[in-house]
Structure 1
């Protein structure tokens, strides 16, 4: 009898679900749709202590134990936050203490501290099962300081002559000098060139990775990168290449001709770090940097938006230097990364506001047992990007910018998303006219639940200090009183009926 009562109770719920709900069909996924988590393999998670060897967690200048198995075990952690792709620091075999991956010893082997080739293939396979892409850093500029190649008579022509790069050096000096004192590879040498190109293709066919982040792009000639991009895409047509060019928008745009798909947005990064390190800083330089980057790059050259990388101090340190709460600063910064045009790239530990100065201080071990507030916020932002194509593919228009407050909209087809950011220490009221947003509609807040209705052909947005709200521009909601009365009456009748059934069943039970 109790089961019968439960079945009857489900009927009103089925009536609710019978009401048709419109849903936009998901478009085919492109690289613009990705949300990327970048990590230093050695510092992320130690999943297999058997491969630690000489690793020492108390020495930040050497290997600390992170490995492929550790990344594999944390894929669900990353997937739950909404990340759809991961970038791994260089995984090739390195010289002693080359935990960062920059001191390559062999381009065809994994570093023994990270695990075997089979364990790396398992990582890629498990990521693909979760519909996540795997990108690895590719270092084509140099090898490690103790490379065996330096003492190989057959490879003397594989290197440029040892020399430092002056601060005002020419492009030729940049491409032939020894960066950070590391042996500089001569890509004009046919054997060197073929070795690097063959290695790049081999990793794709051998492991089915999805992309390369190409390091030190401006230190290698453009003709090599053109051939490099053609080579990797010949193995996998949708293979992704992200160029790490450290310079202004004009310099970065000059490498667009190489065919590299996207670039790390360094010019925007400088302004982002300055603006979001503390409240009450103007956002105009941020949007000016975005506009200049868009103007210089244009076309299909996507940009990777980021706050920090393994080569710079942590953004958390910027906030701490201003005596600010890193959590609130990160929420503002992440809101920008996830809602502006570009692919958000988040460095490991940002979700726990990991601190650190220059390397190796910025390469601390990841801690998975800390405050989850930022993790939850990142998850919300990821859900919004997944739910609303306008946040990924939409055109961007700045509607308001004054001091530390701004409002911009992203428009894609019939969908309009409005983002209001208050990077100040006081509540802000921002009025938008109907020429900026269609009148007689409402703004529905998706982060904080705010609701702003059009009144007198304008919208008055009130936003708390150090807060971001993401709105959908929607038709005004109308309370359907007759419909609610009918549903309420149905629920009441079923409630009475169920009560009577239960009462009768109790009466019929033997005493």
Structure 2
């Protein structure tokens, strides 16, 4: 279990994958009682536009060993139901028969150990190098790693590519704030948000039980004195200055810096753009380079590609991250994947906004191939598609989306089909409070919506 991006086992994993690529390694996977041979690392698809993607929330998808821990599947429940990697693997045959070409898994990295409200979704990362043992059939880290590897191998053997959902913008609730009224998890204050650098409020890191430690104010004890559930991991991120520490975001529109600053509720924003080129940062710069936080995250997510042989990343909350950092990250993932034989590793981001804002983060206005993050979720289309499918808006509004896009991208796009390189279309997602497939939804609306989605 690596605890640092400088851990020898970390480098060994990457080196082993690169050796497999050079030596033409294969692996035998048993699928439905029959042996199938797959190359390792698994090669990328020629064109991701030929792949429709099935998204699943691991905790809510399937657990073959025990019933859900909460109420019925269609009832609100704010804690973990108990879905597992084994449960996902059990249903790969169904997904293959359904015709999916790729599966997009909700975040699999370790989240904060306490049963905080809503941390079942996986977006509250506490350890950026290791998977969450709660997705294992027996609740152990070793089993989680083995079962996730088996899941990916069988998916590949069935012709399914695997996309991991990841987060650059924030960690989970790994510390609380010391405020005049006491220690708090969430606060919002324009004065704090806009104060000069160095005037952030003090923080107290949380232990593995979810309690702030007064003796862990600002700094943590040596890693050997911490458990895997304490604070944040890897050890490389255990610095207060690597976090924004200014409370909750004040809005959702990028500011003059080009992104949105502030925590996402109690999820702590990371200073991905941290600059170590200034005087006094020599030791940090020598260890991690002039962009230490970004370098740590790039190394961590490169390790995951090598460790689990995955095929792409969906990047959460992209518009809250410095656009230059997003571009660098996308390029770095592509370059690393190439080094292990994945010639078309796919990255796409969540930019819940309009065309102009999306363009600032995906790099699709660049002058050449391989520029930043490959694509973005198609929110402009999503804003229009459900009302059309429900008969609440004219179908011409869909045509208008593509006409506007072609005009906005006239130097890049020759048709809306070409735009498919830069957008991942969808009808609804796990962020919507009431999905289009509601028990009371007329079946013809669902059929119409899916027909539109698969033909656009």
Asked if these proteins are the same fold (TM beyond 0.5), I'd say yes
Match of 1:273 among 362, 365, 386: 386
1:35 aligns with 2:147: no
1:231 aligns with 2:351: no
1:74 aligns with 2:102: no
Mean Cα displacement is larger for which, 254-263 or 236-245? 254-263
Query: What is the rounded CA distance, in whole Å, between the counterparts of 2:247 and 2:327 in structure 1?
Result: 26
Match of 2:127 among 81, 84, 106: 106
Deviations 1:347-383 (A, max 9, x none): xxxxxxxxxxxxxxxxxxxxxxxxxxxxxxxxxxxxx
Which residues of structure 1 form unaligned runs of 5+? Answer: 1-27, 341-511
CA contact (8 A) 1:92 1:106 kept: yes
Larger helix fraction of residues: 1
Which residues of structure 2 form unaligned runs of 5+? Answer: 1-44, 137-143, 176-203, 207-215, 221-237, 275-290, 339-343, 364-370
Query: What is the rounded CA distance, in whole Å, between the counterparts of 1:290 and 1:330 in structure 2?
Result: 22
Match of 1:136 among 164, 188, 196: 164
1:282 aligns with 2:299: no
Q: How far is the alpha carbon of 1:336 from its aligned partner?
A: 0.9
Q: How far is the alpha carbon of 1:224 from its aligned partner?
A: 1.1
Query: What is the rounded CA distance, in whole Å, between the counterparts of 2:327 and 2:376 in structure 1?
Result: 15
Moved over 6 A (4+): none
Q: 2:69 aligns to what?
A: 56
Q: How many residues end up aligned between the 2 structures?
A: 304
Q: How far is the alpha carbon of 1:161 from its aligned partner?
A: 2.5
Q: How far is the alpha carbon of 1:296 from its aligned partner?
A: 3.2
1:188-199 paired onto structure 2 within 5 Å: 188-189=273-274, 190-199=291-300
Query: What is the rounded CA distance, in whole Å, between the counterparts of 2:311 and 2:254 in structure 1?
Result: 35
Query: What is the rounded CA distance, in whole Å, between the counterparts of 2:384 and 2:439 in structure 1?
Result: 14
User: Equivalent residue of 1:316, what SS?
Assistant: coil
Match of 2:377 among 259, 264, 276: 264
1:273-422 paired onto structure 2 within 5 Å: 273-277=386-390, 279=391, 281-297=393-409, 298-299=412-413, 301-316=421-436, 320=440, 324-325=441-442, 327-340=443-456
CA contact (8 A) 1:241 1:260 kept: yes
CA contact (8 A) 1:242 1:262 kept: yes
Deviations 1:154-197 (A, max 9, x none): 51111013233223662548443112242110112343222211
Deviations 1:110-133 (A, max 9, x none): 111112111101111000001110
TM-score (norm 1): 0.56
Query: What is the rounded CA distance, in whole Å, between the counterparts of 2:424 and 2:80 in structure 1?
Result: 28
User: Equivalent residue of 1:236, what SS?
Assistant: helix
Query: What is the rounded CA distance, in whole Å, between the counterparts of 2:408 and 2:132 in structure 1?
Result: 39
Query: What is the rounded CA distance, in whole Å, between the counterparts of 1:295 and 1:88 in structure 2?
Result: 34
Q: 1:454 aligns to what?
A: none
Query: What is the rounded CA distance, in whole Å, between the counterparts of 1:93 and 1:193 in structure 2?
Result: 19
1:211 aligns with 2:312: yes
Query: What is the rounded CA distance, in whole Å, between the counterparts of 2:254 and 2:100 in structure 1?
Result: 40
Match of 1:254 among 340, 360, 365: 360
Structure with higher RCO (Cα < 8 A, 6+ apart): 2
Query: What is the rounded CA distance, in whole Å, between the counterparts of 1:86 and 1:314 in structure 2?
Result: 22
- Cα gap change, 1:223 to 1:89, in 2 (>3 Å): same
1:180 aligns with 2:265: yes
Query: What is the rounded CA distance, in whole Å, between the counterparts of 1:83 and 1:128 in structure 2?
Result: 12
